[in-house]
Amino acid sequence: MSQQKVAIVSSYTTRLSVDLGTIEYNKCLALQRMLVARRKSGIIPDTLMFLDHSPGVYTIGRKADPANFPKLDPIRTERGGDITYHGDGQLVAYPIFDIRSSGKLDVRNFVHRIEAVAINAIKDLGKTAYVGEEPGIWVDEKKVASIGMAIDGYVSYHGIAFNHSPVVLDGFRKIRPCGLDPSSMGYLDVSRTDLLQALEGAFTNEFGPFTEIVPGFVIPDLP
């Protein structure tokens, strides 16, 4: 991975955000785990990664039901939730954050804050989003964003994936995403650029200012 554009953040002291562009899922997972360890050690500050996954990939969380993905061999992860798809037409946000607030660990509150970020970002794009009875973020009775978080000690990783283009919907047709009929999946019909800008603003409004890093530093090769 010596040529992959991934930021090194150890010399910064404020909240950081970085758009990594396209990165293969397993390499990104290794990167997340490395950054979680550094965040727990206090080497880096809260770090927010935006990226796309290619090639397309299926992943499952801790509560996966094999009936939702017959004949598939998805990547197993530590996040919550069932099976989902990542691929073209989707923008993912991975917050590597210390989630402690007021001196206590509050996982539920943190997830609610991520949901608020999503709803407010989509509002800025001119659409009304909401948290439905089923997990995720919904617009017009279609699920447009999937949330699956993991917490290691007190540091978050994994995150939230936004469907912004119809091209992503093909990937959901082979599965029952989070136990839902694939027809329940929708998309925002906005550009990646506009969605990224809205998310940057919503994360700033919810968590405070971020320093944006331009990718270009190289980290050691990942597994």
Residue 108, judged by CB atoms within 10 A of its CB (0-12, 13-18, 19+), counts as exposed
Active site residue 178: yes
What single letter denotes the amino acid at residue 19?
D
Placement of tokens 């010596």 in the chain: 2
Contact 55, 86 (CB under 8 A): no
- Alpha carbon distance 52, 55 (integer Å): 9
**Running DSSP on this structure, what letter comes out for residue 176?**
-
Range 151-167 burial, b when 16+ CB lie within 10 A, else e? beebbbbbbbbbbbbee
One of 6, 48, 178, 202 is an active-site residue; which one? 178
Please give the positions annotated as active site: 178
